Amino acid sequence: MIPMETSKLIIDYTGMMVSEQNSKGFAKEDLLGLQSKLDEAQTNLHALRDSGKLDFSLLLPEMLAQLPELCAYADEVAAKFENFVVLGIGGSALGPLAVQQALNHYYYNELLPDQRSNRPRFYVLDNIDPVRFKELGQVLDPRKTLYNVISKSGNTSETMAQFLIVRDYLRHFCGESYADHIVVTTDQQKGNLLPIALKEGFKRFVIPSGIGGRFSELTPVGLLAAAICGIDVEQLLAGALEMDRRIRETKGVFANPAQLKSALSYLSWQKGKKISVFMPYVDGLKTMADWYAQLWAESLGKRYDRTGKAVSLGQTPVKALGVTDQHSQVQLYAEGPDDKVITFLTLEEFKDTQGIPVDSALPEDIQFLGGKTLEELLFAEQKATEYALTLAGRQHQKIILSALTPFNIGQLLLLLEWETAYMGELFNINAFDQPGVEEGKNGTYGLMGRAGYEAKKQAIKEFGQERHLLE
């Protein structure tokens, strides 16, 4: 186990608070003024959990108990296959990608087998672009590849289309052993994928019925991929369990991380900050911003509140990467509309550093970099960006991880999930459904000829009769 004092997560919300440089920030009284609403939210969420719901928190111990079977299978297939491919979309893809990039070598797939402990290369097909799909098939030997089909319902058109193509492909190249090349992650009792898996003998792992895709990373959806690629999933869950315990057992906005984060988000929303920028200053956390964007958008972008009142609320998540997007977006953040709250995600220190050579023959405008490190330069640019935003009266905060460890990533995932749950309570909306997505799904079913969706197909056909084109 990694000692907790060396694996920690800090929330630095200085840039959100009123100061000599930033008169627009919040006072402590503003946060304390939300305490009664936060206490009510905590009571509601605990009641939901006690009733057997709130599964992203409730089922963590159960997920821990499943690790021996999951890790044994992961080790078995890692010894047999050279490639591991996830077929999934949304949370089924974004979570595994985020954890893989955070915790394994940035160029993991390019490493020699012994450099990645002889674990398989890792790929995620999270879209249905036919060129990309075909080109991946051209570079992978199907006889040396394991495919993980992830869909709780088995109704996900994109994933099931991928599955049908891959299954046909494997039957052609692998013959009767094709089933050994497919593992499915789906519902335990229902859905279209389950009976296919039972009939054809695919290895199965279960997505708990009460967990939606964007909350599913710490279930077999994400744990299997992480384990196959050699990530310490026990430590990942240990960090999640510790953050979960801290949030459930701690009271008070200045002590409870989820209460603090949600209070800051809610107050910023009340002040007109309709855009939430998530900006890692670590390349390993770049895809964490993609995962966060789905979590925040799909959970909180709702037309109606729980009373049925039309509210059409939610903050729009924007992904950025420091320092890359200092040169593409920060100009807008500092001088454009004051409608954004910015969350930086950074480390106390990097596991490696890179020195910058000294060369006295260079112009003085370049010489100053010599003898420094890329780490120093990155931290300087981050600090300077924070300073510039503060002078401009723009609100920002930081989540600081002591290091990129499985324990810390587990903490981060749970913190953001709990913050989202709290925001649902503060907004009085259901943060765990996604009705706005269903219309598009149903329209796709109709256009692709699924039985029972003929009326939807006709409605879309009539909708598109009048066109405005420039050719």
Looking at the annotation, which residues are catalytic? 298, 327, 441
Burial class (CB in 10 A: 0-12, 13-18, 19+), 55: buried
In terms of phi and psi (left: phi > 0; alpha: psi -120 to 50; beta: otherwise), the region of 229 is alpha
Single-letter residue type at 150: I
Residue written as token pair 């510039």: 388
Contact indicator for 140, 85 with CB cutoff of 8 Å: yes
Single-letter residue type at 360: S
CB hemisphere CA count around 315 (13 angstroms): 31
User: Could you count the other beta carbons within 10 Å of the beta carbon of residue 112?
Assistant: 7
What separation in angstroms does the CA of 140 have from each of 83, 163, 169?
7, 16, 12
Structure tokens at 5: 């004092």
Residue 373 sits at the vertex; the CA angle it makes with 368 and 379, to the nearest 5 degrees, is 95
Contact indicator for 23, 393 with CB cutoff of 8 Å: yes
- Cβ partners under 8 Å of residue 348, min gap 6: 400, 401, 402, 403
What separation in angstroms does the CA of 422 have from each of 12, 231, 340, 430?
19, 30, 20, 11
Report strand pairing: 310-313 vs 302-304: antiparallel
What separation in angstroms does the CA of 293 have from each of 122, 215, 228, 264, 266?
22, 12, 26, 18, 17
Distance CA 373, CA 382 (A): 14
Distance CA 225, CA 32 (A): 42
